[in-house]
Amino acid sequence: MAKKKIVSIEDRIPKLKQARKKKANRRLIFYLSIFFFLISIIVYLQSPLSQVRTIEIKGNIFLTDEQVREQSEITEGMNIWTMDKSANEKALSNNPIVASVDINRHLPWTVSIEVEEYHRVGYIQKDTSYYPILGNGTMLQSMETGTFYGDAPLITNFEEESYLHRMTSELEKLPKSLLKLISEIHWAPTDDNKNKVVLYMNDGFMVDATIRNFAERMEVYPSIVAQLDEESRGIIHIGVGAYFESFDKGTSSEESEAEVNGETEENQE
């Protein structure tokens, strides 16, 4: 039977003391690390390193960088961590030009403000001046111009603001490629249809339309024009049904209407 090795207490005590000392040292290092980490955070928050030094602004067209900064209530020198991002976004969103805003922190000291503005969908004429109007119906009084450049449709005869807002809301939904085709939009209400509008297009056609679902119905315009002869001009009706009425009285209106109606129905199928 093998003899067991006997270790005396006196031999084990130094080893136990050494193990306890190492454990205590590790614990001390851990607590000191946490302490100095917290101290460094406090020092950082109180130092200029945590202050906003750069404000990056993107997406603004009508608002200047200075206007965005001022209305966001973010200033250089404020603490990057104590700023209320939600409150800053809400403050800037109160501007009727702004559709949405996104504010983010970028360490160590940069704040980015990304603005999405409502699109300019046309111009309103008052006396001899023209004012851009946005998709939410906001007219930009500060951007008055004495010249109409034709880079967006001229919106006229809208004597009731509610119908103007409905029209601009529909224009906001239009693809830019379609919006560029429109030269003028005239409100032409009748007893039966207060939503009636007449459009003068840059390609020489007229469009008889309605404000209700205007953006959706205008989608057929390019396909209708593509079906017509290059030299033909007339009125394209996109109300309940889509059809073409020629300016040329020598051309049978019924034949033109039937031709476009038939091909439009095939395209819809």
Residues 203-251 have pLDDT tens digits of 999 999 999 999 999 999 999 999 998 888 899 999 777 888 988 754 4
pLDDT confidence band for 258 (50 / 70 / 90): very low
Say if CB 54 and CB 111 are below 8 A apart.
Answer: yes
Both ends of the chain: CA-CA distance in Å?
99
Domain residue limits, the chain: 50-117, 120-268
Average pLDDT of 155-162? 95
More confident of the two residues 5 and 243 = 243
pLDDT confidence band for 191 (50 / 70 / 90): very high
What SS3 state is found at 33?
helix
pLDDT digits (tens, 9 = 90+) for 94-137: 999 999 999 999 988 899 999 999 999 999 999 899 999 999 99
User: How far are the Cα atoms of 63, 99, 105, 107, 136 from residue 123, in angstroms, in the given order?
Assistant: 18, 19, 37, 42, 13
Backbone angles phi, psi at 98, to 5 degrees: -85, 125
**Token pair listed for 193:** 């249809």
**Strands 98-106 and 110-117, sheet pairing:** antiparallel
More confident of the two residues 237 and 256 = 237
- Block residue for tokens 């000291």: 109
DSSP H or E stretch at residue 15: helix 9-46
**Strands 154-156 and 242-246, sheet pairing:** unpaired
Say if CB 205 and CB 224 are below 8 A apart.
Answer: no
- Does residue 98 come out as left (phi exceeding 0), alpha (psi in the -120 to 50 range) or beta? beta
pTM of the entire predicted model: 0.70
- Block residue for tokens 């991002």: 85
Residue 68: predicted pLDDT: 96
- Residues 6 or more apart in contact with residue 126 via CB below 8 angstroms: none
Residue 225: predicted pLDDT: 92
Say if CB 205 and CB 236 are below 8 A apart.
Answer: yes
Residue 207: predicted pLDDT: 97
Q: Cα(18)–Cα(13) distance, rounded to whole angstroms? A: 9
DSSP H or E stretch at residue 92: helix 85-93
Residue 96: predicted pLDDT: 92
One-letter amino acid identity for 38? Answer: L
DSSP H or E stretch at residue 121: strand 120-126
Residue 10: predicted pLDDT: 56
DSSP H or E stretch at residue 227: helix 221-227
Residue 15: predicted pLDDT: 63
- Count each helix (H run) and each strand (E run) in the chain, helices first: 8, 11
**Token pair listed for 103:** 């504010």
Residue 264: predicted pLDDT: 46
Residue 53: predicted pLDDT: 93
**Token pair listed for 123:** 């111009």
> Among 29-33, 78-82, 175-179, 232-236, which stretch is predicted with the lowest mean pLDDT?
29-33
Q: Cα(227)–Cα(91) distance, rounded to whole angstroms? A: 50
Residue 31: predicted pLDDT: 85
The domain made up of 50-117 is a member of CATH 3.10.20.310: yes
pLDDT digits (tens, 9 = 90+) for 25-49: 788 888 888 888 888 777 766 777 7
Q: What kind of architecture, by CATH, is found in domain 120-268? A: 3-Layer(aba) Sandwich (3.40)
